[in-house]
């Protein structure tokens, strides 16, 4: 089992969720985060003073998936979120030791 953490542009969340769901992904967890990276924040002016915003709003998507499904999910996310512009985001894959569905007590792949 793998655990995928994807940092994406907020505007892509809806499309990604639809595509993933269509591909059979049955669950995911979403967090609002702020990201710092190659994409530099904007420079704004507040009351005549310039300042730069370092962190930009991003969405963090977390998915626990079977090995096969996880490869597919990475592809889907890449496809949907790739605009080619800096700031599209990153996908990180982790080993997952165990998963458990609280409601039923099922573990492993059953729990995903």
Partner 1 sequence: MSPLSKLFGLGGVALAATILPLPAMAATDPETAFILNSLSFLLHGFIVMLMAAGFCMLEVGLVRSKNATAQCAKNIGLYSISGLLYWLIGYNLMYADVGGYIGSLSIWSPSDPSITDAGYTGDGTDYAASSDWFFQMVFVAAAASIVSGAVAERVKLTTFFVVIAVLVGIIYPIQGSWTWGGGWLSEMGFSDFAGSTIVHSVGGWAALTGAIIIGARKGKYSDDGSIRPMPGSNLPLATLGTFILWFGWFGFNGGSQLAMGTAADVAAIANIYVNTNIAAAAGVVVAIVATLVMYGKIDLTMALNGALGGLVSITAEPLAPTPGIAAMIGGIGGFLVVLSVPLLDKLKVDDVVGAIPVHLVCGIWGTLAVVISAGGGMGQLMVQATGIVAIGAFVVVTSGVAWYAIGTAMGLRPDEEAEYDGLDVAECGLEGYPEFTRSS
Ligand X SMILES: Nc1ncnc2c1ncn2[C@@H]1O[C@H](COP(=O)(O)OP(=O)(O)O)[C@@H](O)[C@H]1O
Best CA proximity match to 89, nearest among 52, 39, 46: 39
5: phi then psi, degrees, rounded to nearest 5 = -115, 120
- 13-22 vs 67-81: helix crossing angle, rounded to 10: 140
Residue 23 interacts, among ligand X, a second copy, partner 1, none and using kind-specific CB cut-offs from 5 to 8 Å, with none
Residue among 24, 44, 55, 110 that touches a second copy (CB under 8 A): 55
Which one, 1 or 80, has the nearer CB to partner 1? Answer: 80
| Spatial distance between the Cα atoms of 64 and 95, rounded to a whole number of angstroms | 10
Which positions from 28 through 87 interact with ligand X, judged by CB under 6 A? 28-29, 35-39, 56, 58, 62-64, 86-87
Q: Residues touching a second copy: how many (CB under 8 A)?
A: 55
Contact between 90 and ligand X by CB under 6 A: the answer reads yes
């Amino acid at each position: 089992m793998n655990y995928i953490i994807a940092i994406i542009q907020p505007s892509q969340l809806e499309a990604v969720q639809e595509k993933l769901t269509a591909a059979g992904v049955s669950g995911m967890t979403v967090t609002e985060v702020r990201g710092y990276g190659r994409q530099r924040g904007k420079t704004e002016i507040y009351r005549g003073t310039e300042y730069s915003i370092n962190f930009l709003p991003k969405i963090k998507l977390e998915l626990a998936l079977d090995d096969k499904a996880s490869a597919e999910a990475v592809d889907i996310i890449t496809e949907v979120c790739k605009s080619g512009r800096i700031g599209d985001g990153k996908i990180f894959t982790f080993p997952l030791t165990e998963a458990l569905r609280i409601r039923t007590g099922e573990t492993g792949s059953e729990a995903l």
